[in-house]
């Protein structure tokens, strides 16, 4: 190209020559950029490779159940126990992503007995350094006093400007310990997640194959530190190791399973990474007899400058109901003051789809928290997962348009063939947790003549005013 450019210089006008020269320069700069972007940055991933990683894994399901809720732990471990065990195991590194940091509550709150677990966890994180364990945090918070305190104690805190990157929030919530153990769940680094909120998550031990893939998402966040644009080419070290077409084969408490990690928004998905919405779609499509969904918010809407219908997940459910005969869908949605009244309409319209000839069924229930002493209904953030006859999906995002389009989150998909009497199956365990909540006396069936308390509360308030 440059030969052509220089020879034509003599023949053409000077003006044209300058244009061609500029083009050649552009090409050169572009090529240089491509090569520099590919692998300037090195992270040895602790010498763990795809071939040497461990896939003989153990798991526990972790929950936080507020003390005043009379719901028993269903073969699950209290979240605080699970997290402390993870920290005790840490030898080299602890990587944490959390949308919010409020473990060490402020003065007035610190008198509450419920705040204690958060303070203990915070002290443990502060003291990691003294055990020569490095703490790394990726966060969207610029002025968090807790992150500053941790950074002063040697933590490596990376700040992402999500407003500039995607106009969203960093809502991911996960831990990677020594690139061998991991936690993914609804609980965040807030003392309420360890006391007054109902939370659900999974901890997987000795599973460097899966943890390595989650670590790559953490590395991706770190790469975006202080950037106000997304790179057009990601480093190969950020590519996904496994995805929905290439599941990781592993053993979970001696049962065979297949797994992968998904991520959102789309802009945060380098090559091979499955998007959260694609993962949800696959899990829904593969369901044969039932889909149980436990979610804080179900709203197929996007709400930016003006509200828009966001049909992606709603359509997946409709398609599944119509195409796969005999499907039973149960939705357990959280109910609270912030619950958008339109949620009801969307749930009703799903229910209305199942006429007799389709032989499907949709049931929806609201999870209703108790009334507080001040008469207000506080929503207890709660588990976000889906379980079907063959798979589970456990994610950080609510099923609301904004979440998947703008906000960052991760998901874990685990597939297991149904086996009778297999008490160690993730699918069976999560199904049991769902059914416990579904049948608990904190739920209310969706009924048009009986508006659930979450909306009624607003009605009541209006009447009072
Ligand atoms: C954590 O909270 C306790 C009790 O409120 C306070 O004494 C301590 O200074 C706090 N630590 C940090 C690092 O903010
Ligand atoms: C984040 O990006 C936005 C938009 O580019 C900018 O206005 C804001 O100042 C940035 N915030 C920080 C803390 O750099
Ligand atoms: C899996 O194995 C671990 C370690 O043996 C055990 O602590 C845990 O409870 C088991 N998980 C389940 C769900 O049985
Ligand atoms: C959209 O957001 C506005 C305020 O930002 C709020 O008043 C409205 O209720 C929201 N609508 C939906 C459907 O979420
Ligand atoms: C309808 O679905 C149920 C299970 O949900 C199944 O037992 C029954 O055989 C189905 N009926 C027909 C006609 O397919
Ligand atoms: C994500 O962040 C936004 C803004 O802070 C918040 O409104 C939303 O509830 C968060 N969602 C989740 C699932 O944490
Ligand atoms: C499963 O367990 C039940 C009772 O525990 C037993 O009756 C049944 O035979 C078992 N099924 C298989 C396939 O082992
Ligand atoms: C992660 C998350 O959704 N956190 C919310 C839990 O609920 C409290 C109170 O409703 C909110 O302030 C948090 O943002």
Residue by residue, pLDDT tens for the chain (465 residues) are: 444 444 444 445 667 767 666 777 666 666 555 554 444 444 556 677 878 899 999 999 999 998 878 889 988 999 999 999 999 999 999 999 999 999 997 766 667 788 899 999 999 999 999 999 999 999 999 999 999 999 999 999 999 999 999 999 999 999 999 999 999 999 999 998 998 889 999 999 999 999 999 999 999 999 999 899 999 899 999 999 999 999 999 999 999 999 999 999 999 999 999 999 999 999 999 999 999 999 999 999 998 778 899 999 999 999 999 998 789 999 999 887 778 888 888 999 999 998 877 889 999 998 876 665 555 555 566 789 999 999 999 999 999 998 999 999 999 999 998 776 677 899 999 999 999 999 998 888 887 666 655 655 443 333 332
Question: How far, in Å, is the centroid of ligand 7 from the Cα of 259?
Answer: 27
Are β-strands 361-367 and 443-445 bridged in parallel, bridged antiparallel, or unpaired? antiparallel
**Does 172 fall in a domain?**
yes
Pick from 60, 57, 392: nearest CA to 254: 57
- Ligand 3 atom nearest residue 61's Cα: 13
Taking CA atoms only, the protein residue closest to ligand 1 atom 10 is 104
Question: How far, in Å, is the centroid of ligand 1 from the Cα of 188?
Answer: 19
CB 104 less than 6 A from any atom of ligand 1:
yes
**Phi, psi dihedral angles at 283 (to 5 degrees):** -65, -40
Q: Which residue among 418, 420, 424, 425 has the greatest number of ligand 7 atoms within 8 angstroms of its CB, and so is best to mutate?
A: 420
**Does 327 fall in a domain?**
yes
- Ligand 2 atom nearest residue 159's Cα: 13
Q: Which residue among 184, 189, 337, 403 has the greatest number of ligand 6 atoms within 8 angstroms of its CB, and so is best to mutate?
A: 403
The total of other beta-carbon atoms located within 10 Å of residue 3's CB is 7
**Does 19 fall in a domain?**
no
Count up the domains in the chain and report the number: 1
CB 225 less than 6 A from any atom of ligand 2:
no
Alpha carbon distance 405, 333 (integer Å): 21
**Does 180 fall in a domain?**
yes
Pick from 86, 78, 121: nearest CA to 102: 121
CB 328 less than 6 A from any atom of ligand 5:
yes
Q: Which residue among 339, 381, 384, 399 has the greatest number of ligand 8 atoms within 8 angstroms of its CB, and so is best to mutate?
A: 381
Q: Do the Cβ atoms of 255 and 425 come closer than 8 Å? A: yes
CATH of residue 123: 3.30.870.10
Domain that holds residue 289: 45-445
**Does 32 fall in a domain?**
no
- Please state, in angstroms and as integers, the Cα–Cα distance from residue 143 to each residue in 146, 159, 402, following that order: 9, 10, 24
**Does 3 fall in a domain?**
no
**Does 435 fall in a domain?**
yes
**Does 433 fall in a domain?**
yes
Query: Residue 310 CA: which ligand is closest?
Result: 4
Question: pTM score, two decimals?
Answer: 0.86
């Amino acid at each position: 190209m440059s030969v052509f450019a220089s020879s034509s210089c003599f023949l053409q006008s000077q003006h044209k020559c300058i244009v061609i020269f500029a083009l050649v320069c552009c090409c050169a700069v572009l090529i240089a950029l491509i090569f520099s972007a590919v692998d300037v940055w090195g992270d040895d991933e602790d010498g763990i490779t795809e071939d040497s990683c461990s896939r003989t894994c153990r798991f526990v399901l972790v929950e936080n159940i507020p003390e005043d809720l009379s719901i028993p732990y269903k073969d699950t471990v209290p979240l605080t126990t699970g997290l402390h065990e993870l920290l005790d195991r840490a030898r080299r590194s602890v990587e944490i992503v959390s949308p919010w940091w409020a473990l060490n509550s402020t003065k007035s709150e610190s008198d509450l007995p419920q705040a204690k677990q958060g303070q203990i966890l915070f002290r443990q994180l502060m003291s990691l350094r003294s055990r020569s364990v490095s703490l790394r945090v990726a966060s969207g918070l610029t002025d968090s006093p807790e992150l500053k305190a941790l950074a002063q104690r040697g933590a490596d805190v990376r700040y992402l400007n999500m407003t500039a990157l995607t106009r969203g929030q960093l809502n991911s919530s996960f831990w990677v310990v020594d690139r061998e153990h991991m936690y993914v769940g609804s609980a965040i680094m807030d003392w309420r997640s360890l006391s007054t909120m109902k939370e659900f998550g999974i901890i997987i031990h000795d599973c460097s194959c899966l943890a390595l893939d989650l670590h790559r998402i953490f590395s991706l966040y770190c790469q975006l530190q202080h950037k106000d644009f997304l790179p057009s080419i990601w480093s190969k070290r950020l590519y996904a190791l496994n995805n929905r077409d290439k599941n990781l084969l592993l053993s979970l408490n001696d049962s065979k399973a297949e797994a992968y990690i998904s991520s959102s928004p789309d802009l945060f998905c380098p090559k091979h990474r499955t998007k959260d919405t694609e993962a949800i779609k696959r899990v829904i499509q593969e369901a044969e007899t039932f889909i149980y969904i436990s979610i804080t918010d179900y709203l197929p809407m996007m709400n930016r400058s003006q509200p828009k219908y966001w049909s992606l997940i709603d359509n997946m459910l409709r398609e599944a109901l119509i195409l796969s005969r005999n499907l039973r869908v149960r939705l357990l949605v959280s109910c609270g003051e912030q619950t958008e009244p339109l949620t009801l309409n969307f749930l009703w319209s799903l229910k209305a789809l199942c006429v007799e000839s389709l032989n499907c069924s949709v049931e929806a229930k609201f999870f209703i928290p108790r009334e507080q002493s001040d008469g207000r209904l506080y929503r207890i953030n709660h588990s976000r997962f889906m379980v079907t006859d063959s798979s589970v999906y456990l994610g950080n995002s609510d099923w609301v348009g904004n979440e998947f389009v703008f906000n960052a989150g991760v998901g874990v998909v685990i597939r297991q063939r149904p086996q009778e009497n297999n008490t160690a199956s993730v699918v069976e365990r999560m199904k049991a947790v769902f059914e416990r909540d579904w049948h608990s006396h904190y739920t209310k069936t969706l009924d048009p003549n009986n508006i659930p308390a979450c909306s009624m509360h607003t009605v009541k308030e209006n009447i009072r005013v």
